[in-house]
Amino acid sequence: DAGVTQSPTHLIKTRGQHVTLRCSPISGHKSVSWYQQVLGQGPQFIFQYYEKEERGRGNFPDRFSARQFPNYSSELNVNALLLGDSALYLCASSFWVDNGYTFGSGTRLTVV
Amino acid sequence: GNSVTQMEGPVTLSEEAFLTINCTYTATGYPSLFWYVQYPGEGLQLLLKATKADDKGSNKGFEATYRKETTSFHLEKGSVQVSDSAVYFCALSVKIIQGAQKLVFGQGTRLTINP
């Protein structure tokens, strides 16, 4: 079975632009979470979605938004990009909201 | 609040040496505890977990025991290999609201094993 897939793998954007990152969970997993990992640090929680509803949000500005589709895939959107948004964005899926997270390989976003 | 503090790296060992990476946590309630590993250019892989006090998680020769009295979850391996070189993250699960949970990670410990 395919694991958690994220696209694109790498991305370079200019300050002020908008970006959309995509995540396909493991088949049968209904929950998707997003994390931001700045170089040299541990991942920070951004969002959790379950059954297309937002179930949790981390301490990130409103420039960050996400959604989950009927097939349980998810998008993370970031508006008005700042240099500080440069990071590895990780998607994790699980069957339920509280167990067995499986992470994707991430999307590395560079803002210049 | 909820937080995880890990032993600062980088840690460099010779092959077949004994490994300990310290992890202590602060949390309300009784969270589940995890160790994740990140190889260069990759995402996170779950290495092991423990869900209650005195539980021992183990996988691929790595072990960690959930110690409530010392709020610790130290990672150990008896004989490391070059292939164990990676960044290791200790994490705990936090209930956000009913039906939602997040992971809180430590800052990571970079491990390098020399042949």
| CB < 8 Å to A100, chain B | 46
Residue with the bigger pLDDT between B21 and B94: it is B21
State whether residue B98 sits within 8 Å of chain A by CB: no
Structure tokens at A108: 């590395």
- Residues B52-97 have pLDDT tens digits of 999 999 999 999 999 999 999 999 999 999 999 999 999 999 888 7
pLDDT interval class at B101 (50, 70, 90): confident
Q: What is the bridge-based pairing of β-strands B109-114 and B44-50?
A: unpaired
CA distance to A42, A62, A76, per residue, from A80 (Å)? 24, 10, 14
Rounded CA separation B93/A84 (Å): 26
- Residues A70-106 have pLDDT tens digits of 999 999 999 999 999 999 999 999 887 666 789 999 9
Rounded CA separation B14/B89 (Å): 21
Cβ distance of A103 and B99 shorter than 8 Å: no
Backbone angles phi, psi at B82, to 5 degrees: -55, -35
- Token pair 């006090």 is found at B53
Rounded CA separation A57/A49 (Å): 9
Residue with the bigger pLDDT between A21 and B1: it is A21
Taking any CB pair shorter than 8 Å as contact, residues of chain A touching chain B are: 4, 33, 35, 40-45, 48, 50, 55-56, 58, 90, 92, 97-98, 100-106
pLDDT for res A97 = 64
| CB < 8 Å to A56, chain B | 96-97, 100-102
pLDDT for res A63 = 98
- Which of B94, B103, B104, B110 is the best substitution to test chain A (most A C-beta atoms within 10 A)? B103
Closest listed residue to residue A66, CA positions, set A26, A41, A31 = A31
Nearest CA in chain A to B101: A98
Which of B99, B103, B108 is the closest to A101 by Cβ? B103
Which of B36, B45, B102 is the closest to A58 by Cβ? B102
State whether residue B1 sits within 8 Å of chain A by CB: no
pLDDT for res A5 = 96
Question: Mean pLDDT over residues B45-58, rounded?
Answer: 94
For B30-82, give the secondary structure using H, E and C.
Answer: CCCEEEEEECCCCCEEEEEEECCCCCEEEECCEEEECECCCCECCEEECCCCH
Structure tokens at A86: 């440069």
Cβ distance of A106 and B95 shorter than 8 Å: no
- Token pair 């500080």 is found at A84
pLDDT for res A1 = 59
pLDDT for res A38 = 95
DSSP secondary structure code for residue A97 in this structure: T
Alpha-helical regions (H) of chain A: none
Rounded CA separation B87/A55 (Å): 29
Question: Mean pLDDT over residues A55-69, rounded?
Answer: 96
Q: What percent of chain B has pLDDT over 70?
A: 99
